[in-house]
Amino acid sequence: MRIPTVYNMLYRHYGPRGWWPGDGPFEVMVGAVLTQNTAWTNVERAINNLKDADSLSPEAITAVHFKRLARWLQPSGYFNIKAKRLRAFCNWYLEQGGFARLRQLTTPVLRKRLLSVNGIGPETADDILLYAFGRRVFVIDAYTRRIFQRLGLIAGDESYEGLRSWFEAGLRRVDVQVFNEYHALIVHHGKHVCRTRPACETCCLRRRCARKLSG
DNA sequence: ACCCAGGGTCATA
DNA sequence: TATGACCATGGG
């Protein structure tokens, strides 16, 4: 089975996901940092706290007292670390001249700069590139590894960059909208794929995925 | 009470 | 370069 085939199966079964949830590029970037190893429902609470305080902007986030920022982020977990990361990101964002400047950079340059920010790793950077800047980037997450391992298409322990280039090579001819939907579909589907491998030989592997995905 | 979630950093070996 | 500890909330 090839990479576009899996996409077609997922898309036929679930339909478009309409990612990223939320409003505008900056909110996408904030969400990308806050959702690190965290359920999205908790992230929404934190973002709502920022909105209620009228502080969902890089200016407000860099200006507010650290302790208060951390309180707003509390429901998303890791709130001390995330307050630090979000502040580091917003400082960088303002230094770089904001969205209008950043959007002029090439994808490799922009990616490298994102990765230089403390708290922005490869997956968060790629979330931002794809969902805030609309770049043709494939996001690798734990669900991606799990699903494609179950399908027997990857080993699962490949490097992030190795997987990314493999996926992007398999999607050379598709539009950015497919990248957008593909990752969203993977996350959606991944939530009901079992985690433990040996016990799932019959329930989560090929057969069930194929049956489930083909409707 | 336990396990996990749309990761990343830092300290060790 | 490769593991492991750590961060912390809310839902199942």
pLDDT, tens digit, 9 for 90 and up, residues A87-98: 999 999 999 999
For chain A, how many residues are written? 215
Task: For strand B, give the nucleotides within 7 A of a protein CB.
Answer: 4-10
| Strand B proximal to A31 Cβ, under 7 A | yes
Task: For strand C, give the nucleotides within 7 A of a protein CB.
Answer: 7-11
pLDDT at position A195 is 82
User: Where is pLDDT greater, at A210 or A23?
Assistant: A23
Nucleotide nearest residue A21, measured CA to C1': B6
Nucleotide nearest residue A76, measured CA to C1': C9
Those residues with Cβ within 8 angstroms of residue A184's Cβ, 6 or more apart along the chain or in another chain: A17, A18, A19, A20
| Strand C proximal to A115 Cβ, under 7 A | no
- Pick from A43-57, A66-80, A133-147, A196-210: least confident: A196-210
pLDDT, tens digit, 9 for 90 and up, residues A92-119: 999 999 999 999 999 999 999 999 999 9
